[in-house]
Structure 1
């Protein structure tokens, strides 16, 4: 009897289970209106490109031909954008720009909708970074080579030298004035450290501004907030001695003999020379005495002078360099020995470029920088003292002048 009872109980339980499952299987049809659940196919290759206050979402469309659009939502579903399904080929790409975002990290959800009103399970795209003014404020213009910012080539063109580009830098725009006074911009790529300006107008300003991307696949390029100014480019060149010529003025010293004329001062000799390859004053003008010569053209800005003495004696250690652009009416009536000579020179339009004092024996070449000077063509040298303390003679091997173009 006990075994019969157990069999009856087991059969009763099986009957309830079988009938219960059958009931649930039938119930789902009532909820789904006797239709099966189908989901539109998923997109593939979902990714994004960070932008400037926007995000660009990219994916390959689903091959499901029933999909009619995709709906993108963000901000916890508060914002959305509907995109028509223009292709069902996984080889294509759908690119969608979402503008008007803040500089923040976003999460997006992409849901496909089919013609029957069905929706896909959805795909999430998290940690989407959006950049903006905060990122831009951290960008710096590319650095230049402080030790050697530029080089002027023999042909007059200019190389600008930059240091290695920072990560994210894509280019730097160089803005400068050309020889015909037009404005020109050229790009310096991140892989390059040097850019040549073939037609740069000396004396003008060079501006530059760098561009960056926050990621290699970024949708937008960011520039620095301001342009930077490149160091002043100076083209210092030797004045053309082939144009120099003698131009004595009343009161100037004469020469010792026909071999030691003023033109010896620009014959191109290097180092202290001996007689007769020098300028040698006569012995009848005493100290101080002056000599004058023409550089052949007006120089806008002389920068410096180099003076080389004789290989033995009578080398100037105290002398003045004067300059003027037009010598018309610039002759002086007073002797260089007269205490009023300097005032008369100034009244005649001459400018004192440099009052030079040497502390050596005066033989070797020594260079002296001028202060800011006006345009100059004619040079007048007033020799006040020589190393040998001679009161009549002065000897000089060479003068070299530089100017800024």
Structure 2
């Protein structure tokens, strides 16, 4: 039994050798074959509907390189002027579909002998990849004194940066490139209410030869308006500011209480008797801000309607701001941010019963819109120029201050 098994094995080996001899017969005719040196250090560099293949060759006898792809249905021949050292070769193959490819590379010597193949594979990109490239997301855009500050979310995917284009205040076209490492970008000399265009650059692979771009997207340069944090507000009485009336205090102006009626209960603020009009109160906001709106509500808006459009409620009011008030209270360092005259919707005189229309307007509040050209301020002044019945003092219920905080003190 052992003899039979050995015979079978020997027969198989002999048969196998004959098969191999037959396979290599064409290469062994005429003596030993010495292969041409093959392409070494082969790299695939993807692009948009194209690819760059690069490699090195050392064999001094190489005269041509041959590249095959698409199951050898497509090919490219490169003539080589070989030097004595190691040469680098690169070839761009154009007009490729967006898909995965395998490339076989052969080197050929002057006798026509070729090397064993070197294979490199990779993905070629195109419109489908382009359509899935997104803009780097913007968290917010703030404005401060001719500058737009862009805060970015962290980049995703294969972003390499973003390109921003805008026309500055002088009409000059400006381009800024933002690397992915940057989290905040400042655009200088911008126009508030203007805009900028931006697109994001993508590179699918570190060796890619092409950069992919999103379409340009337009963003408006605007203030992000929010109601300010009144917990930071504090009275800032200057030398020429009036005293308070009784238990009334300036912080009552921002406590959001429109209902309490009794003096000192928090529903309204009043200056001291005979303190005079025009007169003002001064407030430290605790932040520096670009203000957009100021609102105020008359005393009596909810619980004392007979005082609306009457008594010591302001008829004409001014709103001022500064970042550096003088201690004596003069207006040298102050900027007028706006003014307002309260008009009674019904047209009735002070003391006459209020109408539903009168009450609705008072409950809505009276609003001053602040110019975009106004400077940033920290301190504000509410200056009453005239009351409805020419009282020698004034009162108010509540105020509202809106804008964008620039810095917190």
For 1:114-263, list aligned pairs within 5 A: 114-126=109-121, 128-145=122-139, 149-153=140-144, 155-224=145-214, 226-234=215-223
Query: Are the counterparts in 2 of residues 304 and 367 from structure 1 also a CA contact under 8 Å?
Result: no
The aligned residue for residue 64 of structure 1 is 59
The aligned residue for residue 112 of structure 1 is 107
Query: Are the counterparts in 2 of residues 260 and 278 from structure 1 also a CA contact under 8 Å?
Result: no
- Runs of 4+ aligned residues of structure 1 deviating over 3 Å after TM superposition are 28-32, 86-92, 269-279, 306-310, 319-322, 335-341, 366-371, 373-376, 381-385, 396-404
Q: TM-score, normalised by structure 2?
A: 0.56
The aligned residue for residue 284 of structure 2 is none
CA–CA separation in structure 2 for the residues paired with 1:75 and 1:30: 26
CA–CA separation in structure 2 for the residues paired with 1:45 and 1:212: 26
Structure 1 residue 212: deviation in Å? 0.5
Q: Is 1:51 matched up with 2:52? A: no
Per the alignment, do residues 38 and 162 of structure 1 end up closer, same or farther by CA in structure 2, a change over 3 Å counting?
A: same
Cα RMSD, aligned residues only: 5.0
CA–CA separation in structure 1 for the residues paired with 2:59 and 2:179: 44
Aligned-partner SS, 1:134: helix
Aligned-partner SS, 2:195: coil
CA-to-aligned-CA distance 1:292-327 (integer Å, 9 cap, x gap):
xxxxxxxxxx942355989xx95527x6889xxxxx
The aligned residue for residue 74 of structure 2 is 79
CA-to-aligned-CA distance 1:48-89 (integer Å, 9 cap, x gap):
01110011111112x111101101111111211112224457
Q: Is 1:316 matched up with 2:313? A: yes
CA–CA separation in structure 2 for the residues paired with 1:206 and 1:196: 12
CA–CA separation in structure 1 for the residues paired with 2:201 and 2:26: 62
Structure 1 residue 206: deviation in Å? 1.5
The unaligned stretches of length 5 or more in structure 1 are 1-16, 237-258, 262-268, 283-301, 323-334, 342-354, 360-365, 386-390
CA–CA separation in structure 2 for the residues paired with 1:59 and 1:45: 5
Per the alignment, do residues 337 and 211 of structure 1 end up closer, same or farther by CA in structure 2, a change over 3 Å counting?
A: closer
Structure 1 residue 177: deviation in Å? 1.7
Query: Are the counterparts in 2 of residues 278 and 396 from structure 1 also a CA contact under 8 Å?
Result: no
CA-to-aligned-CA distance 1:177-218 (integer Å, 9 cap, x gap):
201122212111111111111111222112111110111221
Per the alignment, do residues 111 and 402 of structure 1 end up closer, same or farther by CA in structure 2, a change over 3 Å counting?
A: same
Aligned-partner SS, 2:130: helix
